[in-house]
């Protein structure tokens, strides 16, 4: 069943637009309540959290009114909502957030009773209920509970991933993107004994992800160098992803984080099924590094929920995306930036090696990614020029590279990825794709 409003990671768009507004969220809340009840659950067992965007509180209340009454968690990281659903036996968790998008955007994503994100089929079923009788908002209000209850449980669980005091003597540079992790990640690192140097910790409703966070790690890199930090951690606005900096200020993306974790686990014989799950976006160097360490890589569609679905199919417990969504089933069923950073810190402690050395496990294939903002997402099969350019480039690269062209699931963008044997081959290939796309699509 085709979804109209849900994308790769929930509903997302500009606040005040056709799908991110109080009226729509009220209707969505009512449809969600009906969907929960159709499955034998209670709509009053819904937990709602949000990030620090100015529009978040109003949208959360509108969704709660639609549901007919729910528990408001306030500002909390998205993975903490997933954990709270599992711990409290709730019917559903809702995170009002636009993740790494800028402050004018907002959205919502859902977690089922097991804490995992809903499937495409579940989201389509909720959408269908928006169009039927009773699709308007119900009368109800969110029931406030102390946010500290959720925060403390999540922080304690994360800190328990490492032995007490294991980061004593460490200095950690932490960028919380003026977002939802401001009240959690610093507590977890300090609980383990680390000294924390913070940036991106003064949200004002309009500065989430603004020049800080996982999309803008330059400030974190500078802080690592100026502060002499052992490790740098940058989250996105809702905390379900991270990028890292080594002690030299060099940035590590999700591919490098996953390679460090997988190679170390293979060496210790603890990588379940000897399998790492990544997405089609990840560099081919990940496959090579994992294979050399005795494991295998399985690829899934872009989106951490598709990674999690593939992990369940393969019996794997570790997976993620190059964007920094890292899923560790030993801690939770969804992307978690804090858990990912602590896992890497654990490898550093276990090996006694700095991150600048550990990152050498990944030797990247030359790769280039770009995106064009387009007015309309036309089917790629209806673009003969671009389709031909893709086939031609794939033929030239052969087994020594790959081409990926897809529309973003959350933005009006056409994304391109080219990998190949040399930088010049990649650059020339990308130029041919962009020229073909501009010739057939209206680019904004």
Contacts of 302 (CB under 8 A, 6+ apart): 8, 279, 280, 281, 321, 406, 409
Asked if 265 and 271 count as a contact pair (C-beta separation under 8 A), the reply is yes
Name the active-site residue from 72, 82, 99, 214: 99
Query: What is the longest distance spanned by two Cα atoms in the chain?
Result: 62
CA 66, CA 29: separation in Å to the nearest integer?
4
185 given a catalytic annotation:
no
Single out the residue of 145, 191, 169 nearest to residue 338, CA to CA: 191
Angstrom distance (rounded) from CA 420 to CA 246: 27
Instruction: Return the H-helix or E-strand segment holding 278.
Output: strand 275-279
Question: Residue 30 to residues 7, 33, 62, 81, 407: CA-CA distances in angstroms?
Answer: 20, 5, 10, 20, 30
How many angstroms separate the CA atoms of 157 and 331, rounded?
A: 8
Query: Strand pairing partners for 272?
Result: none
**What is the DSSP-derived secondary structure letter of residue 366?**
P
CB 273 within 8 A of CB 376: no
C-beta atoms surrounding 27 within 10 Å: 19
Q: Alpha helix locations (H) across 181-315?
A: 185-191, 218-227, 254-268, 284-292, 304-314
Tokens of 224: 């690592």
122 phi, psi to nearest 5 deg: -65, -45
If we measure between CA atoms, which residue out of 70, 64, 71 comes closest to residue 26? 64
Contact present, 264 and 345 (Cβ < 8 Å): no
Q: How many CB atoms lie within 10 A of CB 126?
A: 20
Q: Which amino acids are annotated catalytic?
A: 99
């Amino acid at each position: 069943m085709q979804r109209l409003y849900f994308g790769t990671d929930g509903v997302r768009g500009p606040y005040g637009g056709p799908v991110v507004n109080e009226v729509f969220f009220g209707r969505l809340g009512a449809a969600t309540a009906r969907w929960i009840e159709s499955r034998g659950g209670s709509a009053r067992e819904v937990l709602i959290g949000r990030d620090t965007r100015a529009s978040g509180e109003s949208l959360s209340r509108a969704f709660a009114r639609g549901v007919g009454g729910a528990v408001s968690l306030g500002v909390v990281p998205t993975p903490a909502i997933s954990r709270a659903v599992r711990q409290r036996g709730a019917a559903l968790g809702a995170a009002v957030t636009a993740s790494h998008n800028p402050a004018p955007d907002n959205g919502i994503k859902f977690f089922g009773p097991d804490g995992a994100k809903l499937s495409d089929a579940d989201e389509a079923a909720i959408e269908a209920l928006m169009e039927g009788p009773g699709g308007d908002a119900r009368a109800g209000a969110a029931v406030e509970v102390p946010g500290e209850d959720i925060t403390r449980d999540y922080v304690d669980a994360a800190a328990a991933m490492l032995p007490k005091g294991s980061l004593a003597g460490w200095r950690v540079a932490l960028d919380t993107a003026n977002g939802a992790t401001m009240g959690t990640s610093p507590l977890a690192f300090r609980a383990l004994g680390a000294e924390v140097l913070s940036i991106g910790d003064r949200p004002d409703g309009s500065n989430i992800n603004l020049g800080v966070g996982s999309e803008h790690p330059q400030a974190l890199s500078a802080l690592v160098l100026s502060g002499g930090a052992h490790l740098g951690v940058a989250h996105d606005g809702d905390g379900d992803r991270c990028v890292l900096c080594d002690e030299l200020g060099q940035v590590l993306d999700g591919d490098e984080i996953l390679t460090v974790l997988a190679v170390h686990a293979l060496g210790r014989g603890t990588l379940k099924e000897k399998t790492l799950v990544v997405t089609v976006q990840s560099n081919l160097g990940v496959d090579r590094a994992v294979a050399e360490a005795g494991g295998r890589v399985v690829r899934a569609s872009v989106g951490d929920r598709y990674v999690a679905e593939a992990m369940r199919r393969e019996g794997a417990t570790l997976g993620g995306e190059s964007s920094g969504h890292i899923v560790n089933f030993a801690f939770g069923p969804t992307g978690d930036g804090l858990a990912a950073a602590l896992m890497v810190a654990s490898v550093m402690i276990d090996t006694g090696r700095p991150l600048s050395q550990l990152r050498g496990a990944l030797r990247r294939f030359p790769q280039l990614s770009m995106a064009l903002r387009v007015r309309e997402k036309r089917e790629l099969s209806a673009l003969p020029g671009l389709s031909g350019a893709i086939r031609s480039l794939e033929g030239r690269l052969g087994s020594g590279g790959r081409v990926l062209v897809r529309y973003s699931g959350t933005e009006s963008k056409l994304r391109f990825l080219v990998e190949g044997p040399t930088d010049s081959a990649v650059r020339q290939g990308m130029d041919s794709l962009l020229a073909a796309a501009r010739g057939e699509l209206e680019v904004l």
